Amino acid sequence: MNIESREIINNWTLYTLTNDHNMSVSLLDFGGIITNISVPNRNKKVENVVLGYKNISDYVDNPNYLGAIVGRVAGRIQNASFILDGKTHTLETNEGVHHIHGGSVGFHQVIWTAHPFQTAETVGVRLTHTSPDGEGGYPGNLEVSVTYTLTNKNELILDYSATTDKSTALSLTNHSYFNLSGDLAETIHNHHVTIDSDEFIELDKDLIPTGKKIHVANTPFDLRSGRYLADGISSTSNQNLIANHGYDHYFIFNQKGQKNVEVKEETSGRIMSIKSNQPGLVMYTANTLNEGIELAEGYSKPYLGVCFETQASPASLHHEGFPTVVLNADEIYEKQTVFSFSSEA
């Protein structure tokens, strides 16, 4: 196990975590951004499986949130406002009339305080930050930490913790775009994805939840037994078309098994499993990813990566019956998501 750090630009530091099995993870203290995850394929060839800019300075403007911590609330908040404890809180409108991913002062734009650590079987970095009451329109002084831990089992563990002195809205996630083909060899059409979910949340034309849950049976959203992402990308289902030909939807986990998600890429043999105590996730197939951005292994285009944003649902701020994003002053926010990597012969 090993950890290296080096200063890059703008007083940012890049940390690289390496385990004993040729897996490594690189991340910035700026935005908590994961810039690289390198894992072996079935032939032991080590390649990067996430999208990252070739030039680190390009993360200054990161409109696609590549690899970043997203908060205070991941996802879209309808009409950039919500009512909590009888008071209306108005947020920045940064996607039409709506609010997305914490706004321009969101956690993806913060230089976090980094605390590297190492044990016999793990290596990692704990990031901490204080968000003041009223920042971005959100109530409450928020103390938050996000810990990245790499294990010798080829697990990347993300632990989120937070406390607030006022009731607030909080749902943190990581916005990495995964591509298990390695070094962006292929698009994600042939990624085979299994999600333990019976229901997803319907979206309107602005990609705002309508308040309706839809059962996945007999739809391209039935990933309970696994299916290729190409099914949803090429689907003529209204919900896939609304999302710009693909997925950008919240799936509610059944929480019955040992894992919530499994992703396989047959050419490389790589497998990624995801387990989280979050109530669900947004799966986004990069349907509107900007073209021509210079990445570490080539240029960006739609469907070059897939995000698995484990989180609660911002729909809960406007509709009953959804996983809540409310954190009260007497509560501790504690969430964990584990990404496990392996390969098949």
Omega before 6 within 30 of 0, i.e. cis: no
- One of 47, 199, 262, 309 is an active-site residue; which one? 309
Contacts of residue 300, Cβ cutoff 8 Å, sequence gap at least 6: 51, 64, 289, 290, 291, 292, 293, 294
- One of 99, 108, 175, 191 is an active-site residue; which one? 175
Beta carbons of 66 and 51 less than 8 angstroms apart: yes
Report how far apart, in Å, the C-alpha atoms of 155 and of each of 148, 177, 235, 312 are. Answer: 10, 17, 33, 22
Is 175 noted as a catalytic residue in this protein?
Answer: yes
231 membership: H or E segment, kind and range: helix 230-233
Report how far apart, in Å, the C-alpha atoms of 72 and of each of 53, 86, 89, 269 are. Answer: 24, 20, 13, 36
CB atoms within 10 A of CB 4: 13
Point out the residues that are catalytic.
Answer: 175, 309
